[in-house]
Amino acid sequence: MTTSPSDPPADAADAAEATDAGDDAAVETTDHLAAFAAGLADRLGALGHSTDNGTVHIQVAPESWVESVVAAREDLPFFSWLSAIDWSREVEVGEPAENAAALEERFEVMCRLSSVTSADAAILVTTLPHDAPSLPTLTGFIAGAAWHEREAAEMFGIDFPGHPNLIHLYLPDSFEGNPLLKSYPLLSREVKPWPGIVDVEGMPSTENVEAEALAAAQEEEAE
């Protein structure tokens, strides 16, 4: 088979075709995410939704938290995790948020649910007041949420009314404070300011000291 000088090389044509196919797949995925997020948000009566960075976020009101999670599980039955974010102006560790003075202090509680038959997944998000964060427990419907709510209570100070055993998960009962609050001072940073100096021990020597000493002794004997 002959080709004219104007024909692109076969590998270039294949690459272009693969690129086009990849672009089409990316557009199809983006369209699916947008449609899925909009449909789920509408069904839940959500406050809003987004698909930033390819992740579906559904914003719901705290008073409809349990109802929304239970309803979402009709399509997304697998509970992955529950956690929180502390949006605080007071920061003891790391850098403060940009324009911190205008920051609305709050907690965000997040719960990720996913399908067991497709790649569909969503993170349900609700906002709690920073001074008295409280959210009804999910444990009446998701037994596995018990561990995650205990962790959020211990680390952030969020209350989960109705939880059957909201005790410390990691720390001693006598421990005071919530270590994942941005306002919580870390003792290590009191001693060594952020970001600190990483203490790294030197690598072990690769020299065979005993063999070198033996060789030196043998040379002395030979002389």
pLDDT tens-place string over residues 69-109: 999 999 999 999 999 999 999 888 777 888 888 899 999 99
Expressed as residue numbers, the domain containing 93 is 16-190
Domain membership of residue 216 (yes or no) is no
Domain membership of residue 165 (yes or no) is yes
Beta strands in 132-180 (DSSP E): none
Q: With cut-offs at 50, 70 and 90, classify the pLDDT of residue 193.
A: low
The residue among 213 and 51 whose pLDDT is bigger is 51
**Residue that has been written with the tokens 């699916």 in this structure:** 32
pTM over 0.75: no
pLDDT, tens digit (0-9, with 9 covering 90-100), for 24-40: 666 788 899 999 999 99
**Rounded to the nearest 10 degrees, how much is the dihedral formed by the CA atoms of 86, 87, 90, 95?**
100
Highest mean predicted confidence (pLDDT) among 7-11, 54-58, 175-179, 200-204: 54-58
Domain membership of residue 1 (yes or no) is no
Which residue, among 32, 79, 24, has the nearest Cα to 51 in the 3D structure? 32
Q: Length of the chain, please?
A: 223
The predicted pLDDT at position 133 comes to 98
Domain membership of residue 158 (yes or no) is yes
Task: Please tell me the total count of domains within the chain.
Answer: 1
Domain membership of residue 112 (yes or no) is yes
pLDDT for residue 56 is more than 70: yes
The predicted pLDDT at position 136 comes to 98
What CATH number is associated with residue 172?
A: 3.30.460.80
Domain membership of residue 35 (yes or no) is yes
The predicted pLDDT at position 190 comes to 60
